[in-house]
Structure 1
Amino acid sequence: MGTLKLILFSLISLLSTLMMVHGEDPYLFFTWNVTYGTLSPLGVPQQVMLINGGFPGPAINCSSNNNIVVNVFNNLDEPLLFTWNGIQQRKNSWQEGLLGTNCPIPPGTNYTYHFQVKDQIGSYFYYPSTILHRAAGGFGGIRVNSRLLIPVPFLDPEDDYHVLVGDWYIKSHSALRTLLDSGRTLAKPDGVLINGKAGKGNGKDEPQFTMQPGKTYRYRFCNVGLKNSINVRIQGHIMKLVELEGSHTVQNEYESLDVHLGQCYSVLVTADQEPKDYYIVASTRFTKTVLTSTATIHYTNGNGPASPELPEAPVGWAWSLNQFRSFRWNLTASAARPNPQGSYHYGKINITRTIKLANSAGMVDGKLRYAINGVSYVESVTPVKLAEYFGAADKVFKYNIIGDEPPAEASDKMTLAPIVLNATFRNFVEIIFENPEKSVQSWHLAGYSFFPVGIEPGTWSPEKRKNYNLLDAVSRNTIQVYPKSWAAIMTTLDNAGMWNLRSMSLERQYLGQQLYISVLSPAHSLRDEYNIPDNAPLCGIVKDLPVPTPYSV
């Protein structure tokens, strides 16, 4: 009998352990009250979007696989959505927070986002995705830490700082929108902000960051700006790059880093200099007039102000291209990876489809528009994801209105329409971004990480594949394309849903430089994609339609 009891006790203990192992991952709850307020980031009073009274908004600090629940109360006078730049939303484009996937939150109401940072680590940010709200603020950092059992390829830093940098306009977001709607472009920005403040480098600004001598700190730089690439550097200190948009990197050291629109970089900085104040310096790149801002770092035992001599930024985009080529994935580091087996061997997977996308600018009815392969995206009243899900796609958009190649001959004529590309689930695709213009472009793909295998001047051709990095390109979600150049990325379309590919330039995105990729699972199974949330608001032509039969396993 004693042996039987022991066996039963062991079975009960095993079942309890299995239930614990397979239990739900932890939940983190946030409540956001979104309002307008008056602040003076550049010394002039202006309308700014506040979250819980703060600008920037509160940071989301979480760990791999955590469930994030954000209850957003929209107290603005306009509809509102938030998007989570770089969070992959596995099987869940319903939570992407874009006008192509979600009906906006009406004024005076609330909506609860629920998503999981599944198999992710790293540095990201969120921002309002409706109209030009990003120009009013409403952005904040997202930090996804590794779980305690997963080793990280560096010692725990003494502290961890988010540094949100970006260009900024004095005009309100509504005034900027009026400019774009009238057919004009946005002028150059008025300044640069670091965590919502513009430092003058005169020794009078309150310190934003503190370091103890001999300690090492992690700084997460994200470019949350609207128009320009930003170069960041720390006076008198070397930055060791350790993570880039969710991937641990080979730990090279840099005096400065170019952070293009939408990108995030993590660096380690050791307080090994004379104890006094130092400046973080952020300045615009590739602009005739360079705009600069500073933020003060204070050594705890410091006894002097920062030097007024600011470190110089590099010149030209060739330097930036060479820096990009120095970034390498740390293949020996343990980390959360959505597809670890495929990720290590991406260079050996056969390409099933090549999509070439060329950006362009032109006029339609006397108004400025931006296009991809000759088509300029326009939002529909019914989100394209909802139209597809409810079987009403033919009433809202046409699939594949652009081809996999840009038009053979350049033309100023543009078509205005929603752009939705049909894609095959789990295909391995190559996307080529061609930039015939004179400005640096930046592109973000939602729902995925991809491998940027090459950037070169000139025009892409299949022969260029021989120069690809097929071994250790850094898995990431945003890529820059230099003037008169091309960039190539590779990814596996294994995340079912409707996913946005967009220019991270706010005016270009608003005026048409974005599209959606529809990745449907033929199985219609919960294993591949979640059902529409019960709390999802409906709008447009699907508002009164019955909800389709839910997916099952």
Structure 2
Amino acid sequence: MACIVIAVLVCLSVAVVRAEDPYLFFTWNVTYGTISPLGVSQQGILINGEFPGPNINSTTNNNIVVNVHNNLDQPFLITWHGVQQRKNSWQDGTPGTNCPIPPGKNYTYHFQVKDQIGSYFYYPTTAMHRAAGGFGGLRINSRLLIPVPYADPEDDYTVLIGDWYSKSHTQLKSFLDGGRALGRPDGVLINGKSSKSKDNDKPIFTMKPGKTYKYRICNVGLKNSLNFRIQGHKMKLVEMEGSHTVQNIYESLDAHVGQCYGVLVTADQPPKDYYMVASTRFTKSVLTTTAVIGYTTGKDPASPDIPEAPVGWAWSLNQFRSFRWNLTASAARPNPQGSYHYGDINITRTIKLVNSASRSNGKLRYAINGVSHVDPDTPLKLAEYYEAPDKVFKYDIIPDSPPETDVATVTMEPNVANLTHRTYIEIIFENHEKSVQSYHLSGYSFFAVGIEPGKWTPEKRKNYNLLDAVSRHTIQVFPKTWAAIMTSFDNCGMWNLRSEAIERRYLGQQMYLSVISPERSLRDEYNIPDNALLCGVVKDLPKPPPYTI
């Protein structure tokens, strides 16, 4: 009998040990350092001495713990772009959710990559730090027990592309603070290097003949859409921002700011070097850069004949329409992606958001529905949690549908929409400007159901893709067009909806969506972390009673 009891206790202890998902621990030292991505020395932001920063390689349900030491002379925050942070906007790393890490101090992020797979990245959200570095790749691999709809690749490579300025982040910030636009970038980078970088003729990746490799391509840039292609090779799209896709073949892909793709590339060409190419789209003067991929058995250099990028935004729109959700593939769960019939859910609220550019007191500002967001000294999430929002912001200062005429002036204040928990909401982005917009929603994936020229009306719903639109987190809006997304707001927290163009975000083209747990229950949202930094009006307030089960 005693042996049986001991055996049962051993089994129970093993079950308890296995009950918690694995932890990954990282210590990051954020410093300034000299970098020369465009062949000119400038001040960059390094993580553990690296530019770009180190990759995070995780698996579904892993707990990620990152202790960030801020050795800069300015406050600093990092956001985990595309990681949904279920019930945990405390770790989102935006000025609306977190007090920045003071110079010389540290903060430990702790979040779980729960029920996700795919290609993501991280970057700074304070000031103009993103223009100096501090970004890196973040991948979430599928658990072994969940099948992936393609064979394991020979290797897995992260490709971070983006436009870049040779001026320092402090100079760029002074331009914006002074009412000026940033103007044209100076170049394009691939993994922190350009064609002007030292040793750029050496391969950054290698491939064995006949083998297939996965490339995770993310536009981590500052304002421009980019076209990516690989000389002499086709790309099979298999994943996009956390969703398995129908596996179409592409010669090139348009990646708008903040977007990520996972593609398979087979080394099926004569063994030699080949160029990866990234170039700006929708710009008068096209900026292009290259990086080398080498075959392990080849020594010949890459051909100087660079494949050309497509022209016009109509091509890009047609490519968007070719993207489809793989309905039969499992996601981070055993059930197929297509088991969630998003097109059959009744819409409970429609919000139309119109971006605009204007001037306030002679200075350039960007706005959504006439409001240019300003980050208060107290993060919005903290003010809400401490039940002091009236001291910091007001809810719903913009209408769900703005006037048909463009707003000539803007109001500068915190922009927060109050959304009811578990409602199914349609958001329309309407772009009246001549530039391509790119919007990201933190804390969620949404279904990108349509993009069309002109202005949106309810009749446009008949053209929605209600069957296999890709579930993703960042959507482009072409000039004089609209884009529609739909999602269920079931993730409580304070979530940032922002332009991914850095000058637009910095100058107000963003807002926050508040989804409050009506029952103040841990089933809906985690309590404030014990190590949370406090600032602003809540710094000396007593902590509210914690949420309970």
Task: Mark the CA change 1:240 to 1:342 in structure 2 (over 3 Å): closer, same or farther.
Answer: closer
Structure 2 counterparts to residues 228-267 of structure 1, below 5 A: 228-267=224-263
In the alignment, structure 1 residue 529 sits paired with structure 2 residue 489? no
Match of 1:85 among 74, 81, 84: 81
- Conserved 8 A contact 1:201-1:293: no
Q: How big is each residue's C-alpha offset from its partner over 1:466-506, in whole Å with a ceiling of 9 and x where there is no partner?
A: 11000111110000000000000000000000000000000
- Conserved 8 A contact 1:418-1:515: yes
Q: What amino acid maps onto 1:264 in structure 2?
A: C
Match of 2:359 among 342, 358, 363: 363
Match of 2:325 among 320, 329, 338: 329
Shift of 1:413: 1.2
Q: What amino acid maps onto 1:365 in structure 2?
A: N
Query: Which residue does the alignment assign to 2:109?
Result: 113
CA distance in 1, matches of 2:62, 2:17: 15
Shift of 1:10: 7.5
Shift of 1:19: 2.9
In the alignment, structure 1 residue 145 sits paired with structure 2 residue 136? no
The 3-state SS of whatever aligns with 2:487 is: strand
Q: What amino acid maps onto 2:137 in structure 1?
A: G
In the alignment, structure 1 residue 474 sits paired with structure 2 residue 453? no
Task: Mark the CA change 1:98 to 1:337 in structure 2 (over 3 Å): closer, same or farther.
Answer: farther
Shift of 1:203: 9.7
Q: How big is each residue's C-alpha offset from its partner over 1:200-229, in whole Å with a ceiling of 9 and x where there is no partner?
A: 599961111100000000000000000100
Query: Which residue does the alignment assign to 2:201?
Result: 205
Q: Percent identity?
A: 74
Query: Which residue does the alignment assign to 1:76?
Result: 72
CA distance in 2, matches of 1:353, 1:404: 9
Task: Mark the CA change 1:9 to 1:32 in structure 2 (over 3 Å): closer, same or farther.
Answer: closer
Query: Which residue does the alignment assign to 1:400?
Result: 396
Query: Which residue does the alignment assign to 1:131?
Result: 127
CA distance in 2, matches of 1:137, 1:414: 31
The 3-state SS of whatever aligns with 1:162 is: strand
CA distance in 1, matches of 2:429, 2:214: 32
Q: What amino acid maps onto 2:221 in structure 1?
A: G
Shift of 1:199: 2.1
The 3-state SS of whatever aligns with 2:318 is: helix
Q: How big is each residue's C-alpha offset from its partner over 1:232-263, in whole Å with a ceiling of 9 and x where there is no partner?
A: 00000000000000000010000000000000
Task: Mark the CA change 1:60 to 1:204 in structure 2 (over 3 Å): closer, same or farther.
Answer: closer
Query: Which residue does the alignment assign to 1:410?
Result: 406
- Conserved 8 A contact 2:39-2:198: no
- Conserved 8 A contact 1:92-1:497: yes
CA distance in 1, matches of 2:466, 2:197: 43
Query: Which residue does the alignment assign to 1:190?
Result: 186
- Conserved 8 A contact 2:193-2:200: no
Shift of 1:6: 8.9
Query: Which residue does the alignment assign to 2:427?
Result: 431
Query: Which residue does the alignment assign to 2:503?
Result: 507
Match of 1:19 among 13, 16, 20: 16
Task: Mark the CA change 1:38 to 1:217 in structure 2 (over 3 Å): closer, same or farther.
Answer: same
Query: Which residue does the alignment assign to 2:379?
Result: 383
CA distance in 1, matches of 2:196, 2:528: 48
- Conserved 8 A contact 2:326-2:338: no
The 3-state SS of whatever aligns with 1:119 is: coil
Match of 2:456 among 448, 455, 460: 460
Match of 1:491 among 487, 496, 499: 487
Q: Which runs of 5+ in 1 are unaligned?
A: none
The 3-state SS of whatever aligns with 2:444 is: coil
Query: Which residue does the alignment assign to 2:58?
Result: 62
CA distance in 1, matches of 2:69, 2:403: 44
Query: Which residue does the alignment assign to 1:154?
Result: 150
In the alignment, structure 1 residue 175 sits paired with structure 2 residue 136? no
CA distance in 1, matches of 2:119, 2:337: 23
CA distance in 2, matches of 1:128, 1:490: 27
The 3-state SS of whatever aligns with 2:316 is: helix
Shift of 1:521: 1.1
User: Given the two structures, how large is their TM-score scaled by the length of structure 2?
Assistant: 0.97
CA distance in 1, matches of 2:335, 2:490: 9
Q: How big is each residue's C-alpha offset from its partner over 1:29-87, in whole Å with a ceiling of 9 and x where there is no partner?
A: 00000000111110111000000001000000000000000000000000000000000
CA distance in 1, matches of 2:520, 2:343: 30
CA distance in 1, matches of 2:118, 2:169: 30
User: Given the two structures, how large is their TM-score scaled by the length of structure 1?
Assistant: 0.97
- Conserved 8 A contact 2:328-2:338: no
Q: What amino acid maps onto 2:148 in structure 1?
A: V
Structure 2 counterparts to residues 268-287 of structure 1, below 5 A: 268-287=264-283
Q: What amino acid maps onto 1:93 in structure 2?
A: S
Shift of 1:9: 7.4
CA distance in 1, matches of 2:175, 2:199: 37
Shift of 1:11: 5.0
CA distance in 1, matches of 2:339, 2:258: 23
Q: What amino acid maps onto 1:161 in structure 2?
A: Y
The 3-state SS of whatever aligns with 2:265 is: strand
CA distance in 2, matches of 1:219, 1:103: 35
CA distance in 2, matches of 1:204, 1:245: 29
In the alignment, structure 1 residue 42 sits paired with structure 2 residue 38? yes
Match of 1:346 among 331, 342, 345: 342
Shift of 1:395: 0.8
Task: Mark the CA change 1:341 to 1:161 in structure 2 (over 3 Å): closer, same or farther.
Answer: closer
Task: Count how many residue pairs are aligned between Structure 1 and Structure 2.
Answer: 549
Task: Mark the CA change 1:58 to 1:509 in structure 2 (over 3 Å): closer, same or farther.
Answer: same
CA distance in 2, matches of 1:175, 1:288: 24
- Conserved 8 A contact 1:101-1:385: yes
Shift of 1:16: 4.9
Structure 2 counterparts to residues 436-451 of structure 1, below 5 A: 436-451=432-447
CA distance in 1, matches of 2:333, 2:235: 25
CA distance in 1, matches of 2:204, 2:448: 34
Task: Mark the CA change 1:104 to 1:417 in structure 2 (over 3 Å): closer, same or farther.
Answer: same
Q: Which runs of 5+ in 2 are unaligned?
A: none
- Conserved 8 A contact 1:120-1:338: no
CA distance in 2, matches of 1:80, 1:97: 9
The 3-state SS of whatever aligns with 1:492 is: strand
Query: Which residue does the alignment assign to 1:297?
Result: 293
CA distance in 2, matches of 1:350, 1:459: 23
The 3-state SS of whatever aligns with 1:177 is: helix
